[in-house]
């Protein structure tokens, strides 16, 4: 309890200071990471810590902005790049989609918030989805179906659960799976390519480079590592003894993906052909606006996959855009 109160007090102090002065507060990397871990407790792996605020509510957004506006007292360049990346992400429409479909928010917050609070949050999710729809921001079919499954399997006794489920039953998802179809989606995707792959070139130029990489590598025939939707697939390809570098982003499990991959080049070398294929499909989904069927065809033309493997790979690329490009700098080396 003392730890929870201390973290809540720290967050409240930061937002107060941010609102009362134009001077940015300087924090250590560990202080910022600890505060972000606490803020995003409902969006990360279940823990014993209490939930201070539910995802993407107004209080959450204010606290997140206050934290991300801090100056970081940290010599590591990649830590600063990650913080800059998270600041850029605030510009894009994820706040209108307050329940990331691959996150089991209901399980994460179970027994940590009251039924009344959770019921209000589910009602909030429905309101935000309706607001998003008015701005042409919609869930894709995969996200809609996943949220419905979570609601159907939940034992939460709240009218807002049934109301949200009914709303999603009649919901018209966007036709494509990727960021391409969202407002400023291409710019959003480019910001991710910049961070994960250190890519300043346009996706069109990257596609041209990938065709060269493809010619240099033999075709992968067997998928040895099964994908899931708990972490970016590039991290699943790394061996357990490959050190995971601490990060600031809840979406990546608080792992700095580019820094981690940069230290595990031997693993990248072993999976070159697979990674090149996944990069091309990632671009297809998020930049070119591929359908799920097009993604299936592209994967099966290069890899020997069963239907479940293909579905899980596509879901991973949908939920973790551009993260596979953390391996891209390795391909540029002589």
- Compute the average pLDDT of residues 14-20: 49
pLDDT digit string (tens) for 147-161? 999 999 999 989 999
- Compute the average pLDDT of residues 177-193: 95
Decide if pLDDT at 11 tops 80. no
Q: What is the pLDDT of residue 334?
A: 66
pLDDT digit string (tens) for 296-325? 999 988 888 888 899 999 999 999 999 999
Decide if pLDDT at 12 tops 70. no
Q: Are 129 and 100 in contact (CB under 8 A)?
A: no
What does the block give as tokens for 5? Answer: 């109160």
Q: What are phi and psi of 280, to 5 degrees?
A: -65, -40
pTM of the full structure? 0.91
Q: Which parts of the chain fold into alpha helices (H)? A: 2-20, 29-39, 58-68, 77-89, 105-108, 115-134, 141-153, 159-169, 185-197, 203-216, 233-236, 257-262, 265-270, 272-286, 292-302, 307-319, 328-331
Quote the mean pLDDT of the chain: 89
Q: What is the pLDDT of residue 290?
A: 95
- Compute the average pLDDT of residues 176-193: 95
What residue has token string 């206050």? 66
Q: How confident is the model at residue 6 (pLDDT cuts 50, 70, 90)?
A: very low
Q: Count of CB atoms within 10 A of residue 139's CB? A: 21
Cα 97 to Cα 130: distance, rounded to the nearest angstrom: 10
Q: Are 304 and 222 in contact (CB under 8 A)?
A: yes
- Can you state the angle between helices 292-302 and 307-319, rounded to 10 degrees? 120
Lowest average pLDDT, out of 19-33, 46-60, 99-113, goes to: 19-33
Share of the chain above pLDDT 70, in %: 89
In DSSP terms, 140 is beta-bridged to 174
Decide if pLDDT at 9 tops 50. no
């Amino acid at each position: 309890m003392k730890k929870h109160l201390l973290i809540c007090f720290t967050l409240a102090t930061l937002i107060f200071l941010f609102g009362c002065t134009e001077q940015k507060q300087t924090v250590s990397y560990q202080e910022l990471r600890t505060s972000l871990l606490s803020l995003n407790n409902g969006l990360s792996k279940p823990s014993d810590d209490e939930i201070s605020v539910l995802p993407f509510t107004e209080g959450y957004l204010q606290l997140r902005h206050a934290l991300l506006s801090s100056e970081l007292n940290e010599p590591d360049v990649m830590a600063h790049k990650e913080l800059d990346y998270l600041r850029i992400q605030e510009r894009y429409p994820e706040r209108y989609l307050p329940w990331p479909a691959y996150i089991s928010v209901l399980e994460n917050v179970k027994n940590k918030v009251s039924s009344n609070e959770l019921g209000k949050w589910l009602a909030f999710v429905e309101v935000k989805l309706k607001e998003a729809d008015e701005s042409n921001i919609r869930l894709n079919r995969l996200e809609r179906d996943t949220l419905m499954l979570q609601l159907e399997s939940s034992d939460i006794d709240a009218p807002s659960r049934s109301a949200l489920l009914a709303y999603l039953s009649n919901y018209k998802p966007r036709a494509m799976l990727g960021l391409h179809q969202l407002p400023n989606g291409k710019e959003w995707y480019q910001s991710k390519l910049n961070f994960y792959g250190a890519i300043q070139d346009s996706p069109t130029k990257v596609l041209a480079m990938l065709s060269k990489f493809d010619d240099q590598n033999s075709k992968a025939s067997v998928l040895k590592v099964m994908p899931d939707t708990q972490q970016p697939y590039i991290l699943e390809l790394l061996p357990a003894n490959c050190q995971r570098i601490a990060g600031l982003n809840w979406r990546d499990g608080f792992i700095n993906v580019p820094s981690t991959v940069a230290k595990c080049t031997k693993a990248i070398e072993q999976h070159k052909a697979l990674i090149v294929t996944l990069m091309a499909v990632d671009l297809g989904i998020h930049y070119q606006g591929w359908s799920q069927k097009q993604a299936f065809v592209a994967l099966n033309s290069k890899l020997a996959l069963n239907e479940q493997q293909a579905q899980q790979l596509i879901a991973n690329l949908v939920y973790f855009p551009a993260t596979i490009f953390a391996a891209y700098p390795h391909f540029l080396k002589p």
